[in-house]
Amino acid sequence: MTFISYAQNFEDIRLWRALKFFENGFYIDVGANDPSVDSVTRAFYERGWRGINIEPAQAFHDALCEHRPNDTNLRCAAGDGEKELTFYDIPGTGLSTLDADLARTHKDAGYDVQTKVIKSRTLRSICEEHAPKTIHFLKIDVEGHEESVLRGMDFSKWRPWIVLVETPFDRSPTWERIITEASYRFIQFDGLNSFYLAEEHLNLIGAFETPPSFLDEFKLCYGHHFSFPVGELENALAAEKQRANQAEAELLALKQSRSWRVVQVFRAMLGRR
């Protein structure tokens, strides 16, 4: 079965290499965003895996509930305590954040930043309520809120085999010691994400030694940002379809007109001669 990759930077391919031999696995996606676009977990969901999606943006949470009905979809933030936080929602993007400075930067760049209040929960409490004993991977993409998320996790009790955290262009995040001191080893930085393996699962490290290649037998999903742009072709196809529909409607109107019926009568009369 060809692997269809939805993730932004081939994260799902790297994870699938390490985990494809395990059936009915489990994931936690903090900052899940869209259920398909740039999703690290959709390919796993399609293969029968299930998980917890944590997403504070209402529109994305609604989409997750619709397209991931067998997952646990929580509309909240993950943090270091149970409290209310200011959430800076940037609709239709993956840029929404809890970081006021980052939100200000996006606003200055022209983005529509909407301020909302959301509830925060710790990963510890979420796992206690919803997670099974085995968590195969934990993905964190929270736009500057990583340290708070990690501080709210009990890595002594809950041991995701693999942890990946989006850290664009940053190979020295200040929070890294939280996870390395919890007996995880840094194994890879792909330019966008930092990958960590639990010490007890270092046997999986070989899956991360080489970049994704044709040997992984994968294809990019329709419309993936690494694939050829389809927008212009779709617009051209839509325009042709509209013209065809218009021509069909005009032909139907002509056939229903009185003049058309008169012509058909004369043709029938001439045909009988």
Distance CA 238, CA 232 (A): 10
Distance CA 205, CA 98 (A): 33
**Most distant CA atoms of the chain, gap in Å:** 99
Average pLDDT over residues 212-223: 88
Query: What is the per-residue pLDDT across 220-246, written as a single tens digit (0 to 9) for each?
Result: 888 888 877 766 667 677 777 888 888
CATH of domain 3-220: 3.40.50.150
pLDDT at 230: 67
**Where along the chain do its domains lie?**
3-220, 231-272
Distance CA 264, CA 64 (A): 57
Are the CB atoms for 178 and 153 separated by under 8 Å?
A: no
The model carries a pTM of 0.80
How many CB atoms sit inside 10 A of residue 46's CB? 12
Query: What is the per-residue pLDDT across 113-167, written as a single tens digit (0 to 9) for each?
Result: 888 888 999 999 999 999 999 999 999 999 888 999 999 999 999 999 999 999 8
Distance CA 33, CA 38 (A): 8
